[in-house]
Amino acid sequence: MSSMHPERMVKLAFKNLGQYKLRAGLTMLGIIFGVCSVVAMLSVGEGANQEIQEKIQRMGSQNILIKSVKVPKDEDSGNSRNMIASYGLTYDDAADMARYVPNLESSTPIKRLRYDVQFKARRLQTDVVATVPWFLRVQNYRMVRGRFLTSADMEFGTPVCVIGTRLARTLFAGFDPIGQTLTIDRDAYTVVGIIGDIAQSELAPQNELWLEGENQAVYIPLRTYIQKRGDFFTQWSEGGGVFEKIELYELILSINTQENVVRAVDAVRRVLKKNHKKEDYSIVVPLELIRQARETRRLFNIVLGSIAAISLIVGGIGIMNIMLATVSERTREIGIRRALGARRTDIVLQFLMETLILSISGGIIGLVFGALIPLVITATTDVKTVLTFPAFAVAFSVSVAVSVVFGIYPARRAAMMDPIDALRHE
């Protein structure tokens, strides 16, 4: 018995573990929970990361987004009753951007308003976006049917509109929206197109991403709005008694390449600082947000990996504890095998084989549960999860490696026993 055939070693390992099924099962629990937690957490993290990346990418990595922001009341000179509060972006800002921002490809002005929209007897309140024809290209949206706004619509102030798919479903249920007349606060518009459903959910307000609900908006030519409503966006403030006047609600600047975005942002800040006494605007740079999201993802994965590593280490300690107990119980068996000619290497390999079987079995079960949990989360909630091969590979390989590392000490302890002392053990 100078050495043992690998096949026989595996069979003996299964036989030894089968004598203590409950113990083996409890030992595997640590590995199962560890692997399951790694896969599940990485899947949830990857899903959240992809969702954020998609939202930011839709904003355009070569775009710079500027939005009018109301200044606090104590800074606003028009906060007294029956006054007009004027703030935010102006057409002069847009003209200066065209002159002073380097590598500017296009400038997209936007008025975003909240109006009652009506079709026949159905009425609801939604966003009305007065903009220009290239808005669709800048925002990377898609047309489902019909067409978007055209240069002719802009030039002649044509009363046409494009609606989002969600609005088409809710307001035009049972009717073909194309060609129908839509009433926006008493003004009639003809529906000429339906914009693709972008499926955007609300993002955290601190990120200042203002794209939520685009697929329920109504899009009209900017010139048409100006002809019908005037050159300003005017509304009552929430407190009442104060009118607010805004020329442009948003301005999207498209830069020719990503490499030139940072330089362009510096120019944008200089122009706005020169034109505005108060900081009644906010600037969002999707390219910077993408980089921040990647860095956040890296840190998030490190945190998740650390938590999962702790779970796997706990599982490894469990295996080590059980194997030490097994070595003590099988001391006489070890002595007999050594007396019959088994080498220390054979003893080490035998106990490591049992450790490997425990870790591999626990790892496979953990992978199964780790794959099921994200699927259940996605099916029962709106949380997006993404199963990736690296998550499976890392979880399984680390669990096996940890188990082997923690199984070496019990195996060596068994191999180093003196055969005579082992045979005398009761």
Element (H, E) at 329: helix 286-329
Contacts 24+ apart (CB under 8 A), 327-334: 327/351, 327/410, 327/413, 327/414, 330/16, 330/414, 331/417, 331/422, 331/425, 332/422, 332/423, 332/425, 332/426, 334/414, 334/417, 334/422
Residue 203, pLDDT score: 33
Residue 208, pLDDT score: 38
Residue 199, pLDDT score: 43
Residue 236, pLDDT score: 47
Strand 83-86 with 242-246, pairing:
parallel
State the Cα–Cα distance between residues 10 and 105, nearest whole angstrom.
Answer: 68
pLDDT tens digits for the chain (426 residues)? 445 566 766 776 677 676 777 777 877 888 888 888 888 888 887 887 777 777 766 667 788 889 988 876 645 544 445 466 678 888 888 889 988 999 888 888 988 888 899 998 889 999 899 999 988 888 777 888 899 999 999 999 999 999 988 888 889 888 899 999 999 988 999 999 998 754 443 333 333 333 444 478 899 999 998 888 766 555 544 455 556 778 888 899 988 887 888 889 899 999 999 988 888 888 888 877 777 777 777 787 777 777 767 777 777 787 787 777 777 766 666 677 666 666 777 777 777 787 888 888 888 998 999 889 888 888 888 778 888 888 888 888 888 888 888 878 777 777 676 666 655 555
Residue 10, pLDDT score: 72
Handedness of CA 397, 402, 407, 412 (dihedral sign): positive
Burial class of residue 141 in the structure, from the number of CB atoms within 10 Å of its CB (0-12 exposed, 13-18 middle, 19+ buried): buried
The angle formed by the CA atoms of residues 54, 57 and 58, to the nearest 5 degrees, is 85
Burial class of residue 371 in the structure, from the number of CB atoms within 10 Å of its CB (0-12 exposed, 13-18 middle, 19+ buried): middle
79 within 8 A of 85, measured Cβ to Cβ: yes
Strand 250-255 with 242-246, pairing:
unpaired
Residue boundaries of the structural domains of the chain: 6-55+292-424, 76-86+108-251
State the Cα–Cα distance between residues 238 and 204, nearest whole angstrom.
Answer: 22
Tokens of 56: 């930011």
192 within 8 A of 160, measured Cβ to Cβ: yes
Nearest-CA neighbor of 144 among 182, 219, 197, 189? 197
State the Cα–Cα distance between residues 292 and 41, nearest whole angstrom.
Answer: 20
244 within 8 A of 87, measured Cβ to Cβ: yes
Bridge partner list, 255: 104
Tokens of 310: 């702790």
For the chain, percent helix, then strand, then coil, each to nearest 5? 55, 20, 25
E-only strand ranges, 311-412: none
Q: What is the pTM of this model?
A: 0.58
